[in-house]
Amino acid sequence: MDVDLVVGPAGWATRAELLRHVSARTLSTWVTRGRLVRLAPGVLATPVAAQRWRVRVAAALAGRGAVASHGTALALWQLLPPPPGPVHVTVADGRSARGPAGVVVHRNAAAVADRRRAGGLPVTSVERAVVDAWGAGPPTRTDVRAAAITAVRQRLCRPADLAYELERSTRLRGRAELAALVGLLADGCRSELEIWGCLRVLRAPGMPPFTQQRRLAVRGETFFLDAAYDDVQLAVEMDGAAWHGSREQRESDIRRDSLVATAGWQTLRYGYRRLTTAPDECRRDVLAVYRARRRLLGGDSVR
């Protein structure tokens, strides 16, 4: 019989499913001859399918009432590439925490009860996956940090959700560092460049207060300003090289700045290289323009 046809398009199946079509002796022969590979107790796959990361995850979850968690969940949420090393799954309290080779099993009843679905598989929530992966690794904390920023930017979770999960993880390794990141996300940062700009430029001593991700509606269009000084109608935009480097995006930025100007706002734009290599110059520029607009708009005198 054709093994691939019996197993099906997924490339894997449980032993019970396969026994509906072939005998136990045939299964044993296929395994002995290498035509099927045991991925987990009671789970078999073709040799080709057994090499696929997603098949290994599905096999680890089969029949356990488990959810993919930690870095595995982040990969299923498409926030990270599949991480190297074992697959991480979480089961309810009281269930066996032993897993087959290549699988790490965690216990957490709340995570299982609050299961979501991503990529067709049961997973933990994004916010729980971020917090769990932060303390476990791989992936690295740098990768998890990027995943958290992307998740908030794509509205897969809110900073408040991350803060809630973090509050429940009092023994998390590196907790203070993650808490600082969550605080910056709650303030409105949506990229590493914005975090750099806020910490190294806009929040430096002597700089005026500003609002992040300030919503501005102009002629039926809505924009979100990276940093806004409402009292002088000054916007500061921090442009990542990858996103703002194309001709189309530069033209879009010019159009956006022009529309914002019709509402009385001036925009200062800083690219990645200047912002990260000359933060002092950027800070002086912002402060000089802020003071000039205070004078122009008849605000209180500034030093």
Does pLDDT of 239 surpass 90?
no
State residue 93's pLDDT score: 73
Q: What is the mean pLDDT of residues 274-287?
A: 95
pLDDT value at residue 244? 47
The CATH class that applies to domain 192-296 reads alpha beta
Which whole number is the average pLDDT over 110-136? Answer: 94
Sign, Cα dihedral of 126, 132, 134, 138: negative
The pLDDT value recorded for residue 1 is 78
Q: What is the pLDDT of residues 184-225, one digit of tens each?
A: 999 999 999 999 999 999 999 999 999 999 999 999 999 999
254-272 per-position pLDDT tens digit: 999 999 999 999 999 999 9
Least confident of 11-25, 82-96, 109-123, 206-220: 82-96
Structure tokens at 295: 């004078």
pLDDT tens, position by position, 47-72: 999 999 999 999 899 877 899 999 99
Question: Using an 8 Å Cβ cutoff, are 70 and 89 in contact?
Answer: no
* Long-range contacts from 278-281, C-beta under 8 angstroms, 24+ separation: 279/200, 279/201, 279/204
Q: What is the mean pLDDT of residues 174-188?
A: 95
Other residues' Cβ atoms within 10 Å of the Cβ of residue 147: 24
Is the pLDDT assigned to residue 99 strictly greater than 70? no
Percent of the chain exceeding pLDDT 90 equals 77
195 forms beta bridges with none
Q: What is the mean pLDDT of the chain?
A: 91
pTM: 0.83
Classify the C-alpha dihedral 13-19-21-24 as positive or negative. positive
pLDDT at res. 241:
61
Sketch the domain layout of the chain as residue ranges. 3-51, 54-187, 192-296
Using the structure block, give the residue that is written with the tokens 């908030």. 152
The pLDDT of residue 7: 93
- What is the predicted pLDDT for the residue at 91? 92
Determine the pLDDT at residue 98.
58
Between 62 and 75, residue with greater pLDDT: 75
Over residues 81-90, the pLDDT tens digits come to 998 889 999 9
**How far apart, in Å, do the first and last CA atoms of the chain sit?**
86
Beta-sheet strand order (sheet of 121-123): 103-107, 87-91, 67-68, 121-123, 116-118
Q: What is the mean pLDDT of residues 98-127?
A: 89
